[in-house]
Amino acid sequence: MSSSLIKPLLIIGGGGHASVLVDILRAQGREVLAVVCPDDISMRRVFSGIRHLTKDDDVLAFSPDDVLLVNGIGMLPASGLKRTLNQYYLSHHYQFETVIAESAQVSPFANVEVGAQIFAGAIVQAGAQIGAHSVINSGAVIEHDCSIGHYNHIAPRATLCGQVITQD
């Protein structure tokens, strides 16, 4: 597949966080090939018409050259599941898509690393750095010159004033 084409997506996880991501991606006209989740996802209408895979290794049937992954595992306190799954798939040469909702305001002078997710109504100001695989949740504000580490999850409507630095 040519690198200039937009690749279809596989969503890891089938809970609330994944459903918000699929909603964003469908609104953007992105092709979602499957949702990977061991649980029943039929009660979430946003997944209607999308193939349901139940095992993490089902992803391996897709070539890393032909798809991008989106990690839809939400914030689970004291759990490393999101990072563990990412590392597993990265070790198999898969790449993660960066997802930015159309209603998010991201300065062209901000830096958003691969795999980050910026939800509806979020604001990321000039000079801000958003680390790989971090989530800036709905309505959150990341002011100027903040540096958000990798795998951070900024809560909905949280405000980080200028020059806040978080760790990975």
CA 61 from centroid of its chain's CA atoms: 21
pLDDT digits over 123-161, tens only?
999 999 999 999 999 999 999 999 999 999 999 999 999
Q: At the top level of CATH, which class does the domain 9-97 belong to?
A: alpha beta
CATH 2.60.40.10 is right for the domain spanning 98-168: no
Long-range contacts of 125-134 (CB under 8 A, 24+ apart): 125/162, 131/168, 133/71, 133/82, 133/83, 133/86, 133/96
25 vs 77, higher pLDDT: 25
Residue 20, classed as helix, strand or coil, is helix
Instruction: Give the mean model confidence (pLDDT) for residues 2-12.
Output: 81
Whether the CB-CB separation of 130 and 153 falls below 8 Å is answered with no
- Residue listed under structure tokens 């969503």: 11
Residue 76, strand partner residues: none
Of 82, 80, 59, 78, whose CA–CA distance to 133 is shortest?
Answer: 82
Token pair belonging to 61: 């049937």
Assess whether 153 carries a catalytic annotation. Answer: no
Whether the CB-CB separation of 136 and 106 falls below 8 Å is answered with no
What pLDDT shows up at residue 119?
98
Whether the CB-CB separation of 41 and 49 falls below 8 Å is answered with no
Q: Which of 93, 144, 150, 153 is the catalytic position? A: 144
Q: Which residues of 68-96 are buried (b: 16+ CB within 10 A; e: fewer)?
A: bbbbbbbeeeeeeebeebbeebeeeebeb
Q: In which band, very low, low, confident or very high, does the pLDDT at 1 lie, cut at 50, 70 and 90? A: very low
pLDDT digits over 86-126, tens only?
999 999 999 999 999 999 999 999 999 999 999 999 999 99
Instruction: Provide the residue ranges of all domains of the chain, joining segments of one domain with +.
Output: 9-97, 98-168
What pLDDT shows up at residue 3?
45
Percent of the chain surpassing pLDDT 70: 98
